[in-house]
Amino acid sequence: MVICAVSGLGGIGKTSLALCAGHRAVRDGWFPGGTLFVDFRGYDEDPVTADQAVVALLDGMGVRGADLPQTAAGQYGLFRRLLAEERGSMLLVLDNASDAGQVMPLVPGTDHHRVLVTSRDRLTELDAQLIDLDVLNTEDATDLINRSLRLSDRADDRATREPEAVSELATLCGHHPLALRITAGMLRKRRHRSVASLVNELRGAEDVTAAVGLRPLFEAAYGQLPPEQARLLRLLALAPTAEVGSETAAALAGLGVGRTFALLEELAASHLVTPVPGGADVRWRVHDLVRAFGVSVVEGDAGLWEEGEAARERVLEFYLRWAEAADDRLRWLPGMAEPERFADRAGALAWLDSERAGLVAAVQWAREERYAATAVWLSQCLGEHLTWRRSFDDWITVCGVAQEAAHRAGTQVGEAIAWDGLGNALRETGRAEQAIDAHTRALDLFQATGNHSREAVTWNNLGNALRQTGRAAEAIDAHTRALDLHQRAGDRLREAIACNNLGLALREAGRVEEAIDAHTHALDLFQAVGDRHGEAIAWNSLGAALWEAGRVEDQIEAYKKALEGYREFGNWYETGRTLSNLAIAHQQAARPAEARAHYLQSADAYTRANAPTEAAHAQSLADSLT
């Protein structure tokens, strides 16, 4: 390949890389014919043209004064002839070009010379190997700071003494090489102050891009964008997260996906956004400092601020529509209306997985009054997915924000739903006492509003939390209350859930035969409403009750039935737990080989569920049986 074109965001290190590579190549004897360098100043107000560059290149080859042809055509002709006659390979470094037109007339007509081009834009019009530079990884970013400090003072060991502060400094700089070098310079000036002191200053800076010295670069890049691209970049800076899908970007822009995709590709060519391929869709990431710059542009202009608020409303409505449809699909049972868009659970889960970070961040907009109602409703559409994926920290965040927003707005039902969801998430993370308090608050609100359906659900959830704290008798009472309310309402699905949980509490209280009856009744109800996953839960619960009753073989059959349902739905965490239960049953039946096989399968299932602690425990139990 005759040409290599290195591109990247301003200050990313393109010229440094090109010069470093060129020096090494010359040192190793790759270019006996010599090297030539031109800075095109492609992004200045008065960039160098190809006609001006050829004169500079000829000068570097010793052609000047009377020997220089008077016309541009003559100069290009002489330049090409001299390159053709030069048998030793030469390197041409054409730095800081803004478009292919600046460099194409200067490309050698022979293939034994090499050209290295740098640009902030991907010069796709060139027949060249395109090399995109991105920011540094964390290790290299912190190493750059350490080396920069020790370069001026070998005794400067602040980076070694304050690794956490250096890591945060690198994050504040967005791992951007120029920003890192500038902040390292600040640290050298303040030799007797800590790295943490600079971190604190930058964290509180009104404009971090100015503080780390990158604002002029971003202003220049932004100022050269066509209006549509500039608008989209501003709006992307207001997105819930730094990375969005093409549909989310289209919602922000209020444009069709096709038009938005085209604009995104143009921004990617300028390295102002980064495409992140994955699955069926390309996602788009905006560098943290570019986002900060975009936000500052919007905040400084009343008209742009209104434009941005409208974009945020559009993306929140977009998220709500599809999150509600995806949630409907996850809860869908035979006989229900078909949800919009998502034909199956896999499709709904895939969309929710890809957008989870944005959805969770968008719910946090509920702290702003104008978005509160929509964001609170969005939070209610995420519970099933976050629970299914065991993303309990996100679930706690979402419910906490929703509860506060609904309380401020005086929306008692919304607040109660948030308290109830928060209780479930707290219980799953082992904070059962806090969960009891959350469910009790929800109960009070539901009873005050006369919402008996939600009250019943909350009694059931409260029972689960009470059982986790060992208060089996109170749990039985709570589940019984839930069961009665659901039976009166004719809600067989929720009756099945409450009945199964009642069985768990009865087993904890030592009332094993009653527990078996409760789980068996729950099974019948789940089968009647066509809830296959609910059946799996009931089979698993029944297996545990049968173990208490000493019916080991019946227990094993129940666990096998549970496995069928869990695997059908891809519930790998519960698959892992059920396989562990099966392993224990086989151990009790003096079948160590079968027990070991099930522990190994359990470890695999837990690994698929991203539960490394449980996977390691199952693997350890399997190893103990070798």
pLDDT one-digit tens code per residue, 405-432: 999 999 999 999 999 999 999 999 999 9
What confidence category does residue 109 fall into, taking pLDDT thresholds of 50, 70 and 90? confident
Range of weakest confidence among 6-10, 278-282, 291-295: 278-282
Give the 3-state secondary structure of residue 93: strand
- The answer to whether the beta carbons of residues 288 and 242 sit under 8 Å apart is yes
Around 334, how many Cα atoms within 13 Å sit in the side-chain half-sphere?
8
Q: Higher confidence at residue 37 or residue 152?
A: 37
pLDDT band at 1 (very low <50, low <70, confident <90, very high): low
Contact 561, 527 (CB under 8 A): no
Q: How confident is the model at residue 258 (pLDDT cuts 50, 70, 90)?
A: very high
Residue 176 has pLDDT above 70, yes or no: yes
- Predicted pLDDT at 279: 66
Of residues 290, 79, 495, the one with CA closest to residue 503: 495
The pLDDT-based confidence of 277 (bands split at 50, 70, 90) is confident
Topology of domain 533-626, per CATH?
1.25.40
Q: Is residue 268's pLDDT more than 80?
A: yes
For residue 45, pLDDT over 90 is answered with no
pLDDT at 295: 95
Please state the rounded mean pLDDT for residues 12-18: 93
Which of helix, strand or coil describes residue 199? Answer: helix
State the pLDDT at residue 111.
Answer: 85
Q: Where are the domain boundaries for CATH 1.25.40.10 in the chain?
A: 533-626
Superfamily of domain 3-132: P-loop containing nucleotide triphosphate hydrolases (3.40.50.300)
Residue pair 355/363 in contact by the 8 Å Cβ criterion: no
Domain with CATH 1.10.10.10 in the chain: 233-300
- What is the pLDDT confidence band of residue 626, given thresholds at 50, 70 and 90? confident
CA-to-CA dists, residue 316 to 249, 250, 309, 341, 379, angstroms:
12, 12, 11, 18, 11
Q: Which residues pair with 245 in a beta bridge?
A: 283
DSSP state, residue 38: E
Mean pLDDT of 61-68: 90
The token pair at 332 is 């869908």
Nearest to 286 by CA among 275, 297, 277: 275
Asked if residue 443 has pLDDT above 70, the reply is yes
Backbone φ, ψ for residue 565 (5° rounding): -70, -45
The pLDDT, as a whole number, for residue 66 is 87
Mean pLDDT of the chain: 94
* Average pLDDT of span 229-235: 97
**pLDDT at 345 > cutoff 90:** yes
- Would you state the pLDDT for residue 173? 94
Report the CATH number of the 233-300 domain.
1.10.10.10
**Strand ranges for 28-183 from DSSP E:** 34-39, 90-95, 114-119, 129-132
For residue 278, is pLDDT > 90? no
- Average pLDDT (197-220) is 92
- 238/110: higher pLDDT: 238
pTM for the whole thing?
Answer: 0.86
Alpha-carbon gap, residue 134 to 118, rounded angstroms:
14
Give residue 236's identity as a one-letter amino acid code: L
Asked if 304 and 191 touch (Cβ cutoff 8 Å), the reply is no
Residues of the chain with CATH 3.40.50.300: 3-132
Q: What percent of the chain lies above the pLDDT cut of 70? A: 100
Average pLDDT over residues 72-82: 94
